[in-house]
Amino acid sequence: MRRRLFVLIFVLSVMAGCGVRTDGQVTIPETEPSSKTSARVELAEAMDAFGVLKQLDDAWQKRDCAAVERLTTWAESTLGGRACKATRNGRPAPARKRYTEAEFFLPNAADEDRWFVALARKPDPAYFLFVNEGDNWRIGAGPILVTGKSREPIEGAVPTDDPSTGVKARLAPQRYLAYLTDPAGVSGVTFPKGDAIRGLFGELVQRTEKVRPDRLTTDVRLIDGPQRALKLPDGGALVIHALEIEYRQKTGPGRSSLSHPLYGKGDLRGFTGKAKPAGLTGTEIVLVATEITGGTKMSTIALRRGLATLTAD
């Protein structure tokens, strides 16, 4: 049976308020050692873990980078490291919304990697990946903003050793990497018209032209991590994964500073402290929720990008 719950905003406010101190620091509530013999995530536990979102929102608002680090993991922690410290140097803190009416999809797998996915319906649909580390729940990815329609997962995670759906779930990140690094299209990887990843691909191609006479090179890499994929009807899968895009921008001949910096004044000031750098190296994280059908089709149903690091020459 698929487990779901729509959580009202006043319930979340009560649950998530625990662990917030009035001295400007955000703490994680102490978690008692689990007495369960199974590693399976239960609905009540997932519902309680969703309250970590409010703690993270408060930490960002107060620029409490130590709390941001404790409340995040995997790809989301990369977005909260130097990016959080940059907000102390004048970069605006990210505008984080208070998400409610969550529907929980539990992997129902009794292994050491304890995780679940939540789909918050309001204020805008977004996916979140929660991961349990050291008996504390942390946000591994999210919000990942919904950009397309998806079928609802059915009970259970996709086994990594599944010879059909499991293989397709493992290959999904690699296929994204092949698509984004293949301007000629020789890999044969395609996405449907209007897919969000096609828009990102177009931007990667156009950025080189937009910054001229500056020079720009781009690298795309995968962010490693355990497979986190939920079963969809008819042999499909919902896969949560992440990419890293690194931009290296240099001045053109005869110039001492960049003509068209990729990033604005707030980012430059917060990360580098410079207004007119001679070169930039920036790393963006792309969080993705992908739907794989029972056949071979693949589509992006949710995507979010964020600047993780920026250095100046």
Q: Mean of the pLDDT values across residues 118-136?
A: 93
Domain boundaries, the chain: 1-146, 147-313
Q: In the structure, how many helices (H) and strands (E) does the chain have? A: 9, 9
How many other C-beta atoms lie within 10 A of the C-beta of residue 157? 25
| pLDDT (0 to 100) of residue 13 | 35
Question: In the chain, pLDDT over 90 holds for what percent of residues?
Answer: 56
The predicted structure's pLDDT at residue 32 = 42
User: What is the arithmetic mean of pLDDT over 179-184?
Assistant: 88
pLDDT at 7 over 60: no
What is the pLDDT at residue 8? 33
pLDDT single digits (tens) 201-238: 999 988 888 899 999 999 999 999 899 999 998 889 99
User: Looking at residues 94-114, what average pLDDT do you find?
Assistant: 85
Q: How far apart, in whole angstroms, are the C-alpha atoms of residue 213 and residue 247?
A: 16
CB atoms within 10 A of CB 217: 11
Average pLDDT, the chain: 84
The total of other beta-carbon atoms located within 10 Å of residue 307's CB is 21
Bond prior to 143 in cis (omega within 30° of 0) = yes
Residue 111's pLDDT band, with cuts at 50, 70 and 90, is: low
173 vs 112 pLDDT, higher one = 173
Band (19; pLDDT cuts 50, 70, 90): very low
DSSP state of 296: S
Helix/strand/coil (H, E, C) string of 87-124?
HCCCCCCCCCCCCEEEEEECCCCCCCCCEEEEEEEECC
Contacts of 295 (CB under 8 A, 6+ apart): none
Between 27 and 156, the more confident residue is: 156
**What tokens does 228 get?**
């986190």
State pTM to two decimals: 0.84
Residue 126 pLDDT level (bands cut at 50, 70, 90): very high
Assign 38 a pLDDT band (cuts: 50, 70, 90): low
DSSP-assigned beta bridge partners for residue 247: 218, 282
- CA pair distance 197, 22, nearest whole angstrom: 42
Span 13-38, average pLDDT: 37
Cis peptide before 213 (omega within 30 of 0): yes
Return the CATH number of 147-313, one of 1.10.10, 3.10.450, 1.20.120, 3.40.50: 3.10.450
pLDDT at 234: 84
**What are the pLDDT digits (tens) for 250-278?**
988 878 889 899 999 889 989 998 888 98
Torsion of CA 95, 100, 105, 107, to 10 degrees: 60
pLDDT at 177 over 80: yes
Q: Are 253 and 284 in contact (CB under 8 A)?
A: no
For the chain, the first-to-last Cα distance in angstroms comes to 55
